[in-house]
Amino acid sequence: MPDYVVTTTGEFVGVHDLPAFQTKLRAFLLEFFPKDVDSNILPQVQALFSSEAFLNSRAAEQWNAVVGAWAGAELELGAEYTYSSKEPVPLFPGEQVLMNYSFSAKRLVPCHRSGVDRSCAELEMRSTADPEDTKRMIQSFLSSVVGKTLPQTPSFGPLRSRV
């Protein structure tokens, strides 16, 4: 993940030095892909995964999971907190999906910052795309691409991440 730009209150602004990170990512993708992949596919994959929208969305998700969701909060150890939010999906332009989040302060652990021993909280966050809303979003996107109702309903598994 790239470096982030955030406000003094902890809100995500964007990827720091986006053009430089895009260049590094495109080079990484070039090395990552097998040499026998269709040469027409790689530029499309590079464009998709290095797009400003995709990178800012992924970086914002990572930032919010690591810091943004907790900034300024007073969390009780062991308590679970939940919220839901519609989030853009860069792989499906113009679409959003309902994400369900749960987070907690698991325990206090020793840490060291600025030359001082401190006590820090171990935080955990789980995010899961709402299965019904994910199905709706993908069907809507596929219908817009195909231009009509799909003959079959695709099947999708759950999308989850844990930080």
Q: Which two tokens stand for residue 51?
A: 């797009």
The rounded mean pLDDT for the chain is: 80
Round to whole Å and give the CA distance between 94 and 163: 26
* The Cα angle at residue 110 between residues 122 and 10, in degrees rounded to 5: 50
Round to whole Å and give the CA distance between 21 and 51: 11
| Predicted pLDDT of residue 2 | 80
| Predicted pLDDT of residue 92 | 72
Round to whole Å and give the CA distance between 141 and 134: 11
Residue 138 pLDDT class (50, 70, 90 cuts): confident
Round to whole Å and give the CA distance between 80 and 21: 35
Contact 143, 97 (CB under 8 A): no
| Predicted pLDDT of residue 42 | 79
Higher-confidence position of 76 and 143: 76
In this structure, how many other beta carbons lie within 10 angstroms of the beta carbon of residue 97? Answer: 20
User: In this predicted model, what pLDDT tens digit does every residue of 51-96 receive, in sequence order?
Assistant: 898 888 888 877 876 676 667 778 889 999 888 888 877 677 678 8
The residue ranges of DSSP E strands in 55-151, in sequence order, are 80-88, 96-113, 116-129
| Predicted pLDDT of residue 21 | 92
Higher-confidence position of 15 and 148: 15
| Predicted pLDDT of residue 125 | 78
| Predicted pLDDT of residue 157 | 57
pTM (2 d.p.):
0.53
Contact 104, 81 (CB under 8 A): yes
| Predicted pLDDT of residue 19 | 94
User: In this predicted model, what pLDDT tens digit does every residue of 121-137 receive, in sequence order?
Assistant: 887 878 888 999 988 88
Q: If we measure between CA atoms, which residue out of 55, 63, 60 comes closest to residue 17?
A: 55
